[in-house]
Amino acid sequence: MNYWPLLGVGVVVVGFVMRKNPVLVVVLAGIASGFGAGMHPGDLLAVLGSSFVSNRALLLMVMTLPVIGLLERFGLRERARDWIAGFRGLTLTRFLLSYLGLRQVLSMLGLTNVAGHAQTVRPLVAPMSEAAAERSIGPLDEGERHRVAALAAATDNIGLFFGEDVFIALGAVLLIQGFYAQNGIELEPLAIALWALPTAIAAFIIHAIRLVHFQRRMQRRARPPASPEEDRPC
Amino acid sequence: MLKIEHIYWVLGAFLVYSAWLNLRERQRAMAGFWAILACPFLFGDLILAALADGTRWPAQAMGVGVIGLGVMAARGGMRSHSDDAAAEALRRTAASRLGNRLFGPALAIPLATLVLVLVAPYLRWAATPLIEARHATLTALGLACVLAFIAALRVTRAPLATGLGEGRRLLDALGWAALLPMLLATLGSVFAATGVGDVIAGLVDAIIPIDSQFACLLAFALGMVLFTVIMGNAFAAFPVLMAGVGLPLLVLRHGADPAILGAIGMLTGYCGTLLTPMAANFNIVPAVLLELPDQYGVIRAQWPNAVALLLVNFALMWLLVFQP
C-alpha cells in the first residue's frame, strides 16, 4: 500500500499547529497529497479546479454581506443590544438556550440555512448575547466580550449539528441510508432519523449545564460580595 | 425558472464589483483575490461542462487559480477597514432614528428563505416550477438575500453604492477566511482522489483486535472523530469508517443494528467537527466574523460539549447497538 498520500494529512496537522495561514496550508496539503499519490501535475490541477468549482455553494454566505453590512452601518448591532437590554429577567443563559432550542428545531425541519454565523450570529445573536450578559453580570471587559461572542457562535454550531440529523429528507440521513443501500441493507430514513433524537436531547442538556456554569462563573468574578438575592443565576 | 446558477452569477458580479473597488483604491492584491474567486461563480458551469466533454484546460486553469489564491492569502496584504468614533456616533443616531425597523431586513433573510422553501413546490408557471427543485434551499437563501437587500435599501434610504460598498467592507474584513470553506472541501476531494481514506482505514484494521465488540466500537467511534478532525467533515469520514470498520466488523461480524450505528455514528463524527479548524465555515469563519483575537476562539468555547457528547454517543451505542 502507498502511504505517501498521508503526507497531505501531515502538512495539515503541522500547518494548523504552527498556526500558519490556513489557506496556504490547505493548498500545500492538496499538492503534497497529490504528489504523494503519484498523480500527474495536470491531473492534480484538474482535480483542484473542478472540485473547487463543485464546492462553490459554500461561499453563498457572501450573499448576506451587503444586507448585514448596510444594516450594521445604520446601527443594527447597537439596536439589537439596546432591544435585548430592555427585557427584564433575560439572562445570557436563558437567551442562548432559547436560541439553541430554536436552532435545533429549525434544523430538524430541514431549515439549516435559515440561521448561521453570517445571517444571524454576527448581526443579532452575538450583540444580543453581550447585552443579555451585561444585564445579568454588569459591564464586560474585552476578554469577556470575546468569550460571550464565541459562546454565541458555539451555540449556533451545536444547535445546527445536533438538530439536522433528525431531518429525513436531506444530508446525513440520506447519506447513511445510501451507504447501506449500496451494501444491500435497506432501511427507512425515519428509522435512522429517530435514533438521532437521544443525542439531540443530550446536546441540549449538556449545553444548558455549561451555560449555567459559565454565567455563574462570570457573576462570581464580576462582583464577589453580591447579596444572595442577586446572585441567583436564573 | 430560477436556478442556483443565477444566484451564483449575482454573487460573482458582487465579487467583481468588490475587486473593482479595490483596484480603484490601488489594492491590487485584494482586487486580484476577489477577481479570481469570481471565476467559479461566473464560469463554473462552463468549466464543469467542458471537463465532462473531455476538455481539461479550463479546470486546470482554475486549479492554477486556486494555488494563486493560496499564495496571495499567505502573503497577506489583507486589510480591515478601521472603525472610527465618527462612524460609531453615526450608527448610534441612525439606530435610534430607525429603531426596530432595522430588524426587518435582517430577519427577512431567514424568514424569506423559510417561506420560499415552503412554497417553492407550488410556484409554477404552466408546468415549469419557478424555483428549480434541485438546490431549492440554497436558491431560496440567495433570493431571500436579494430581497432583504432591497428591503434594507428602502429602510435605510441609502443609495445602492453605499449598500454594496458596506458589503464589500465586510468581505474585505473576512478576507481569506471567506474562501477557506471552499478550499477545505476541495482538499477533501483531493484526499478522496488520492486514497487517503483507504490508507487510514487499512491502518485501523491492522491495529484493532477484531473479536472484541468493545474494541471494534471504540475504534469506530474514535475513528469517526479523528477522521472528521482531519477531513473537517463527518460526511467524508462516514463512508470510510463504515466501509473499514462499521459494516464488516460491527454489523456483519458482531450483529450491530445498522440504523442505530449509522445515526449515532454520524453524530459521533459531528463531535469531531466541533473540534477542528478544518471545519472552517463553522469554526474559523465565525471567529473572524466576530473579530475574535484568537482564531481558535470558537473551538475553545465548544470543545467541552464535543467531549461530553462523544462520551454520551459512545455510551448510547454500547447500550443500544448490540441488543438482539
Q: Which of B51, B157, B186 is the best mutation test for A, with the most CBs of A within 10 A?
A: B186
Which residue has cell 459554500? A58
| Sign of the torsion angle spanned by Cα atoms A204, A205, A211, A214 | negative
The interface predicted TM-score (ipTM) is 0.83
Q: Which residues contact B59 (CB under 8 A, 6 or more apart)?
A: A45, A46, A49, A50, A53, B47, B48, B50, B51
Q: Across the interface, do A44 and B99 touch by the CB < 8 Å criterion? A: no
B304 vs A143, A206, B311, CA distance in Å? 19, 9, 11
Q: Which three cell numbers stand for residue B285?
A: 469563519
Is the pLDDT confidence value at A189 over 80? no
Render B167-182 in DSSP notation, one character per residue: HHHHHHHHTHHHHHHH
Residue B63's pLDDT is 93
Chain A residues within 8 A of B251 when measuring between CB atoms: 185
Q: Which of B84, B80, B64 is nearest to B72 (CA)?
A: B64
Q: Which three cell numbers stand for residue A153?
A: 457562535
Give chain A's length: 234
Among A48, A70, A76, beta carbon nearest to B190: A48
Interatomic CA distance for residues A64 and B146, integer angstroms = 8
Q: Which of A35, A106, A176 is the best mutation test for B, with the most CBs of B within 10 A?
A: A176
Q: Across the interface, do A30 and B247 touch by the CB < 8 Å criterion? A: no
CA distance to partner chain B, nearest, from residue A106 (Å): 10
A46 → chain B, closest CA residue? B60
pLDDT of B111-127, one tens digit each? Answer: 888 888 888 888 877 77
Q: Which three cell numbers stand for residue B283?
A: 469554526
Helix (H, G, I), strand (E, B) or coil at B36: helix
Chain A residues within 8 A of B273 when measuring between CB atoms: 157, 161
Q: Are A142 and A149 in contact (CB under 8 A)?
A: no
Query: By mean pLDDT, which of A63-67, A100-104, B57-61, B236-240 is the weakest?
Result: B236-240
DSSP 8-state symbol, A39:
-
CA distance to partner chain A, nearest, from residue B246 (Å): 11
CA distance to partner chain B, nearest, from residue A73 (Å): 6
Residue B66's pLDDT is 92
DSSP 8-state symbol, B100:
G
Q: What is the mean pLDDT of residues B279-306?
A: 92
User: Rg of chain B over CA atoms, in angstroms?
Assistant: 24
Residue B11's pLDDT is 95
CA distance to partner chain B, nearest, from residue A79 (Å): 6
Residue A228's pLDDT is 47
User: At A168, is the pLDDT very low, low, confident or very high (cuts 50, 70, 90)?
Assistant: low
Q: Which residues contact A191 (CB under 8 A, 6 or more apart)?
A: B259
Interface membership of B258 toward A (CB under 8 Å): yes
Chain A residues within 8 A of B139 when measuring between CB atoms: none
pLDDT of B65-89, one tens digit each? Answer: 999 998 888 776 555 555 667 777 8
Residue B23's pLDDT is 93
Among B44, B183, B195, beta carbon nearest to A5: B195
Angle, alpha carbons B83-B85-B87 (nearest 5°): 65
**Buried-exposed string B218-235: b where 16+ CB fall within 10 A, e elsewhere:** bbbbbbbbbbbbbbbbbb
Residue A5's pLDDT is 83
Interatomic CA distance for residues A155 and A128, integer angstroms = 13
List B125's β-bridge partners, or say none. B128
Q: Across the interface, do B95 and A1 touch by the CB < 8 Å criterion? A: no
User: Side chain identity at B255, as an amino acid letter?
Assistant: G
List B148's β-bridge partners, or say none. none
CA distance to partner chain A, nearest, from residue B74 (Å): 6
pLDDT of B162-179, one tens digit each? Answer: 999 999 988 888 888 888
Which residue has cell 487499512? B202
Which residue has cell 495561514? A21
Interatomic CA distance for residues B28 and B283, integer angstroms = 29
Q: Which three cell numbers stand for residue B81?
A: 477597514
Interatomic CA distance for residues B243 and A80, integer angstroms = 48
Residue A222's pLDDT is 65
User: Side chain identity at B214, as an amino acid letter?
Assistant: F
Q: Euclidean distance between the first and final Cα of chain B, in Å? A: 51
